[in-house]
Structure 1
């Protein structure tokens, strides 16, 4: 058995691995960048080694530093978690060559499944159904354009080395293909160092179904049933569940058997996931489910599988890496109940889901389910990494019970001043279509307007703020001669929020919200959303965009500038693209006008609210 384990990762997955390792009596080593010097995973591990500056490219993605840290601390194994170097075959081989145990599949298996085009070809030969499309070696624009036309629009462009929605675009019409291809290639090159793509037919009513597989060094491969990951935004999973709603026994047997064949085709060891796309226009059917890709690592959403099977997948990883056979046979695995997971991100749905960074001055999770997190109150959300705050997981005997429990967990989240998507998640979980399992990958995009909480507080939130602001006064009988709780309140408070000022009376027992207050402000937490009120009429301090100033919405890197000084632009025209937290954000013109004061070029690093340029209305082109 492994004695000391180095976790080549950070955040919640590092904390998750540390927890299981400790329960198994395995010592743990954390690695950290400058930004993570005081992070929870560093505080949780038995030892920690600094590996470089904050950017991942100079720390978590430098394999030599991680191997050196393992040698320095006497670790005998390396667990890569997910993301970063977890699917890097060269790093896996380097770990093995250094005499260390690699907690993951063989490098050859990673290579076989690492490129989507080669993986699809391999799956065809193994009898696994694949999505119709083009995965050839001719990557010329002319050939790809021709193949897209042959497939028929809409088509999906996917980076062959991609993952997590990076380098992926749906194209609805031929006129949009060239621009989408260029954007895909640029994003893929930046994220994976490889700009090659493949094309797939866009599936009608698509559902994202994946199967958890596990292999060992003794030739055993099992599946641990399926998960439904259809609720996505920009191809990033948001809510996952197991088992998949509407999956009958025959279809489950077919898809899980195909997943096992896929794993055996590459002599797979360790935890892996076979991802399928299902045409669910007539429900889930075995003949309409196609292989997409294999993730040769542990998945973010693995907790829902653990919840319905009673298996600790990290423990299985460590045992298999130590040479042990799989702890259970296929006939010893079964589904018990239902589990749903929601990804809580530091982002602002009201502002286009822009990432929100900074210190978590206030953070509270209510009991009721499983919380996987890499932060505590007082920690910071860094602009250098994925903005996940936590994964909230609920189990129930039925899907309805699991959903009710998760809704209670999500709607009671309290976070400040970092913004989160908790309110968005709450609205999604209680949406009638989600409750009735009417799912596909377009679920969020098609209902987005109804899922985003209002940026301005509703009346009941205002009243809750007033109640909180006046509660101390009401509780203090001194100075309130003749005041009785059963009588009409005679006191009021003036509050400001989102550019509006109201004077409100005390009305106790407003249900559905919780609050926090001090001398300057009142915070109301309402079904996952947080609203700030200032005491008195102090104003909002918000800047107006009417002057045409284009500000950086967050710290990031300018990766494309589409305009020049003096150029005439129209409302909505893209001016430049900012990359931050692994996502591209297009900045557009607020109205017709001319670009002035252009202060950045491609490659520039900018800070939040930096003025990048100004669009001046009514001017003539220079």
Structure 2
């Protein structure tokens, strides 16, 4: 066991930076925030113990500038760097740089990030751990004949995916053999351009699916699963609403998913917080591993609300060498939680970004309501970053109560001066399919199409 962390550099912005600052304060850890020029007046800068500007607004020169971040960490002599999510959080080279410089990276080891970030390698690891994977290629596919042989085995439609892709990018559905050769060449070219890696793999395309993930946390010895999150309400592969528990699972399926996730963690020697993602086939009610996110997730508060555990604190404690003191039997899932991602976007205009200055701002409150946001009245939303301005998380004794509480809280939320997705979230929550829990990843697109029709 090493000494607990005394100081942490937070290499991120917005609500996740604020979330880590608050956890640091409660643990007696000094927080140093690395920020860009565009975020100089932000709430995280105001609340951190210290703040250091690491570059201009452009992420390549600030939040994704590994050398600028590590230089700030060394200059302020911090014990560790918390990367939040996005930016450098799943960058194996940056984690290795931290290791080389003797600064603790709050996350798994660089080799684990690298292996799990390669979707082809991750799939091989999952298979070794006995975790079911979507039928398809075992390794990378680089030529048409190989792709055609796999297609003949898997069948159409099938999915070509960039090995280094993520966030819904680098994927293409192939409907027939006639377009396979062209589709393969184009997606490989796109993968090379977008991710610097032309590697692709092929999977059966499942048409009626849910997206379900298991939150895990490990100190390298003890591996805990903390229940699932259902992230099926998506638009263009981007999550909009997450909830726990999933309305689609029974106890047998839930246990199978959880055991699969912990088996994968043990196989790869995982340490810190992570999320194991699965697709769940609504037709034959089976699940398949798709990837692992080796970082804290945007939607981690959903798990916190149903477990009562502070995942950011646990991350920091594990990074400081403190073992997990809980057993799996200590983890109790209570009630139901729903998270709505509030974005500065206009749903009536193709979800176009809506940056600007926030006028009046009112946060919802009351029992079971939590708003994670860095926004306040007078805050100028910069146009350089992700459009999410907050996460509304509501807890209820059951799913119906959580839904009603979320609608009530969305009604209370006021963010003047910009357009947000709050009303669209109410539309989703009030829909029959969502309230009954019978929907798939195409649900939001169908809802939008019906509105236009």
**What band does the TM-score fall into relative to the shorter chain?**
over 0.9
**Separation (CA, whole Å) in 2 of partners of 1:110 and 1:451:** 41
Gaps of 5+ in 1: 455-622
User: Hey, what does 1:265 align to over in structure 2?
Assistant: 267
- C-alpha contact (below 8 Å) 2:364/2:371 kept by paired residues: no
| Structure 1 residue 375: Cα displacement | 2.1
**Separation (CA, whole Å) in 2 of partners of 1:186 and 1:404:** 46
Does the C-alpha gap of structure 1 residues 323 and 394 become closer, same or farther in structure 2, counting only changes over 3 Å?
same
Does the C-alpha gap of structure 1 residues 55 and 143 become closer, same or farther in structure 2, counting only changes over 3 Å?
farther
Aligned partner of residue 334 in structure 1, secondary structure: coil
**Separation (CA, whole Å) in 2 of partners of 1:122 and 1:372:** 35
Q: 2:108 aligns with which of 105, 108, 111?
A: 105
- C-alpha contact (below 8 Å) 1:154/1:202 kept by paired residues: yes
User: Hey, what does 2:13 align to over in structure 1?
Assistant: 10
Alignment of 1:147-166 (within 5 A): 147-148=150-151, 150-166=153-169
Does the C-alpha gap of structure 1 residues 27 and 250 become closer, same or farther in structure 2, counting only changes over 3 Å?
same
Does the C-alpha gap of structure 1 residues 138 and 432 become closer, same or farther in structure 2, counting only changes over 3 Å?
closer
Alignment of 1:117-128 (within 5 A): 117-128=120-131
**Separation (CA, whole Å) in 1 of partners of 2:140 and 2:394:** 44
User: Hey, what does 2:81 align to over in structure 1?
Assistant: 78
**Separation (CA, whole Å) in 2 of partners of 1:37 and 1:179:** 47
Gaps of 5+ in 2: none
| Structure 1 residue 189: Cα displacement | 4.2
User: Hey, what does 2:230 align to over in structure 1?
Assistant: 228
User: Hey, what does 2:346 align to over in structure 1?
Assistant: 348
**Separation (CA, whole Å) in 2 of partners of 1:261 and 1:449:** 40
- C-alpha contact (below 8 Å) 1:167/1:183 kept by paired residues: no
- C-alpha contact (below 8 Å) 1:126/1:265 kept by paired residues: yes
- C-alpha contact (below 8 Å) 2:140/2:200 kept by paired residues: no
User: Hey, what does 1:115 align to over in structure 2?
Assistant: 118
Aligned partner of residue 133 in structure 1, secondary structure: coil
- C-alpha contact (below 8 Å) 2:232/2:239 kept by paired residues: yes
- C-alpha contact (below 8 Å) 2:32/2:48 kept by paired residues: yes
Q: TM-score, normalised by structure 2?
A: 0.94
Deviations along 1:297-336, one digit per CA (max 9) or x if unpaired, are: 1111110100000000001101111111113110100110
**Separation (CA, whole Å) in 1 of partners of 2:405 and 2:73:** 41
- C-alpha contact (below 8 Å) 1:433/1:439 kept by paired residues: yes
User: Hey, what does 1:246 align to over in structure 2?
Assistant: 248
**Separation (CA, whole Å) in 1 of partners of 2:253 and 2:283:** 15
Deviations along 1:577-602, one digit per CA (max 9) or x if unpaired, are: xxxxxxxxxxxxxxxxxxxxxxxxxx
Deviations along 1:316-375, one digit per CA (max 9) or x if unpaired, are: 101111111113110100110000001111111111111222222333322231111122
**Separation (CA, whole Å) in 1 of partners of 2:440 and 2:305:** 23
| Structure 1 residue 128: Cα displacement | 0.6
Deviations along 1:118-159, one digit per CA (max 9) or x if unpaired, are: 110111111111001124334235543553454222222222
- C-alpha contact (below 8 Å) 1:276/1:293 kept by paired residues: yes
| Structure 1 residue 177: Cα displacement | 4.8
Between the two proteins, the alignment pairs up a number of residues equal to 448
**Separation (CA, whole Å) in 1 of partners of 2:257 and 2:293:** 16
Deviations along 1:33-70, one digit per CA (max 9) or x if unpaired, are: 12112122212211111111211111111111101111
- C-alpha contact (below 8 Å) 2:141/2:201 kept by paired residues: no
Does the C-alpha gap of structure 1 residues 191 and 22 become closer, same or farther in structure 2, counting only changes over 3 Å?
farther
- C-alpha contact (below 8 Å) 1:204/1:280 kept by paired residues: no
Alignment of 1:192-591 (within 5 A): 192-217=195-220, 219-282=221-284, 285=285, 288-368=286-366, 369-450=369-450
| Rg larger in structure | 1
Higher relative contact order (CA 8 A, sep 6+): 2
- C-alpha contact (below 8 Å) 1:156/1:202 kept by paired residues: yes
**Separation (CA, whole Å) in 2 of partners of 1:210 and 1:199:** 21
Aligned partner of residue 433 in structure 2, secondary structure: helix
Aligned partner of residue 202 in structure 2, secondary structure: strand
Aligned partner of residue 343 in structure 1, secondary structure: strand
| Structure 1 residue 416: Cα displacement | 3.1
User: Hey, what does 1:581 align to over in structure 2?
Assistant: none
- C-alpha contact (below 8 Å) 2:161/2:202 kept by paired residues: yes
| Structure 1 residue 174: Cα displacement | 4.2
| Structure 1 residue 185: Cα displacement | 4.5
Aligned partner of residue 231 in structure 2, secondary structure: strand
**Separation (CA, whole Å) in 2 of partners of 1:363 and 1:176:** 51
**Separation (CA, whole Å) in 1 of partners of 2:49 and 2:69:** 16
**Separation (CA, whole Å) in 2 of partners of 1:326 and 1:418:** 43
| Structure 1 residue 85: Cα displacement | 0.9
